Structure 1
Amino acid sequence: MPGTTTPQHIPSAATALSVDQLYQTAFYNGRTPRSQEYKAGARMALEHRIERKDFDIPYQVGTAAADAFFAGIEEGKTIWRTAVAKIGGAA
């Protein structure tokens, strides 16, 4: 995704973070519901940061589904930064 960079240095404590753990915490039961596309975007952002996976945009750009996916990516980035800050790293 343009404008997205993979960190060159991930703090060692951050490597203990898992996509599933952060995702489950963020999208807990009782939270305001989000679309599957939004949640897929958040998960993709976490996978990009933690597992160094490339972004794969599964929706046609310009559609509501793609917009939700991109919004989810932004939340995923926020989830990542918050988690790393809590363990004392730099996001």
Structure 2
Amino acid sequence: MYEEIKEQINQIVDSIYKYDINKVMNLIGCLFNSIDVSLQKNEFENVNSLNKVLTMMEEAMNNKDYLLLADILKFELFPIIPNKYIN
């Protein structure tokens, strides 16, 4: 799941840079589903940090600030994705 989430983030950022917003929105939905599954498995150590990042993502999307969204994904979300998942 870890690699899947990281790959989803990379795909979203790449799609933002290509300004393929429809694809971005579809991929964001997949990313949220993957994060939800990880949360249900208690794979995130710092849920408070994750909640803050998700709130920032929501604000960026509401403002249609997709470059900010890309930065949040790369520099805020990517670093807090656990390197190992609990089996």
TM-score in terms of structure 1 length: 0.32
Task: With a CA cutoff of 8 Å and minimum separation of 6, indicate the structure with the bigger relative contact order.
Answer: 2
Structure showing greater Rg = 1
Higher helix share: 2
